[in-house]
């Protein structure tokens, strides 16, 4: 068994049961190996968890990069489609579920390591969206691609909180209204109408 395969199995177990609830024995059983064999790849459960989290951060950034790169629609459609698509992944993709749960609810003993990974995600996400907004280039005079990116990602943050803690009806309402107001607030064309 390769380290990457073991991390993938562990990630699913951590996504389902959290750090405390997932056991190395269960991970080993799913992998078809003995528990002791895990230690030939990882120093500890903490090491396995952190390395799985690091992979999940990169996986999320890669997903978003591919999504934005392949989407050739006008920017308003890209922005309107990205948020619901990304939010839907939470119920369908164990990587995203693991990433979000770990970012929002890190194990206390691993909090600093998780913050580093979350910081990498946020920095990478901002860079991806700045690049998207730079291609657009038609903003109100005081709006820069960086400001547009940070504001859009603040909306994403709020929607992720609603996804984890709220109700689906409220999430839909917030999604619809926040994007409409955001677009009107940054778009140069909207300023003159």
Please report, for the chain, the start and end positions of each structural domain, with discontinuous segments joined by +.
Answer: 46-191
Query: What are φ and ψ of residue 155, in 5° steps?
Result: -65, -45
28 contacts 38 by C-beta, under 8 angstroms: yes
Q: Does domain 46-191 have CATH number 1.10.730.10?
A: no
The model carries a pTM of 0.88
Classify 107 as helix, strand or coil. Answer: coil
Give, for all 193 residues of the chain, the pLDDT tens digit: 688 999 999 999 999 999 999 999 999 999 999 999 999 999 999 999 999 999 999 999 999 999 999 878 888 889 989 999 999 999 899 999 999 999 999 999 999 999 999 999 999 999 999 999 998 877 777 889 999 999 999 999 999 999 999 888 999 999 989 988 988 888 765 444 3
Q: Is residue 133 classed exposed, middle or buried when 0-12, 13-18 and 19+ CB atoms within 10 A define those classes?
A: buried
Residues 6+ apart with CB under 8 A from 18: 101, 105, 107
pLDDT tens digits, residue range 161-190?
A: 999 998 889 999 999 899 889 888 887 654
């Amino acid at each position: 068994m390769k380290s990457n395969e073991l991390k993938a199995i562990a990630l699913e177990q951590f996504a389902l049961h959290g750090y405390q609830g997932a056991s190395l024995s269960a991970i080993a059983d799913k992998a078809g190996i003995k528990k002791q064999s895990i230690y030939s790849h990882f120093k500890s459960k903490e090491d396995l968890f952190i390395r799985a989290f690091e992979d999940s951060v990169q996986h999320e950034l890669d997903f978003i990069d591919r999504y934005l790169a392949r989407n050739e629609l006008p920017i308003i459609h890209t922005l309107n489609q990205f948020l619901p698509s990304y939010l839907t992944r939470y119920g369908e993709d164990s990587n995203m579920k693991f990433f979000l749960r770990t970012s929002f609810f890190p194990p206390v003993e691993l909090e600093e390591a998780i913050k580093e990974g979350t910081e990498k995600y946020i920095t990478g996400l901002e860079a991806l969206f700045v690049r998207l907004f730079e291609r657009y280039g038609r903003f109100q005079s005081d709006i820069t691609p960086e400001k547009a990116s940070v504001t859009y990602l603040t909306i994403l943050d709020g929607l992720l909180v609603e996804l984890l803690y709220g109700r689906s009806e409220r999430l839909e309402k917030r999604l619809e209204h926040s994007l409409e107001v955001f677009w009107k607030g940054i778009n140069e064309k909207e300023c003159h109408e």
